[in-house]
Amino acid sequence: MSNTRLSVNINKVATIRNARGGNMPDLIQFARDCERFGAQGITVHPRPDGRHIKYQDVRDLKPIVTTEFNIEGYPSDSFMDLVLEVVPTQVTLVPDPPEALTSNAGWDTLAHREFLTGIIEKLHSKGIRTSIFVNADPEMVAGAKATGTDRVELYTESYAANYLKDREAAIHNFILAAKEAEKQHIDLNAGHDLSLVNLKYFQEQISNLKEVSIGHALICDALYLGIKETIRQYLMQLQ
**Annotated catalytic residue 52:** no
Spatial contact of 195 and 217, defined as CB atoms under 8 Å apart: yes
The CATH number for 90's domain is: 3.20.20.70
Which pLDDT score, from 0 to 100, does residue 48 have? 86
Q: Is the dihedral of CA 30, 197, 214, 5 positive or negative?
A: positive
Is 50 exceeded by the pLDDT of residue 1? no
Spatial contact of 200 and 171, defined as CB atoms under 8 Å apart: no
- Residue 66's pLDDT band, with cuts at 50, 70 and 90, is very high
Spatial contact of 12 and 27, defined as CB atoms under 8 Å apart: no
Arithmetic mean of pLDDT, 126-132: 98
Which pLDDT score, from 0 to 100, does residue 3 have? 87
Q: Which domain holds residue 13?
A: 5-237
Which residues share a beta bridge with 9? 43
Catalytic choice (52, 153, 157, 192)? 192
Arithmetic mean of pLDDT, 158-187: 98
Catalytic choice (72, 153, 157, 211)? 72
Structurally, how many domains does the chain consist of? Answer: 1
Which of 233, 140, 155, 145 shows the shortest CA–CA distance to 194?
A: 155
Arithmetic mean of pLDDT, 68-95: 97
Which pLDDT score, from 0 to 100, does residue 9 have? 98
**Residues 3-21: pLDDT tens digits?**
899 999 999 999 999 999 9
Catalytic choice (35, 45, 68, 157)? 45
Residue 70 and residue 68: Cα distance in Å, rounded?
6
**Annotated catalytic residue 35:** no
**Annotated catalytic residue 172:** no
pTM over 0.75, yes/no: yes
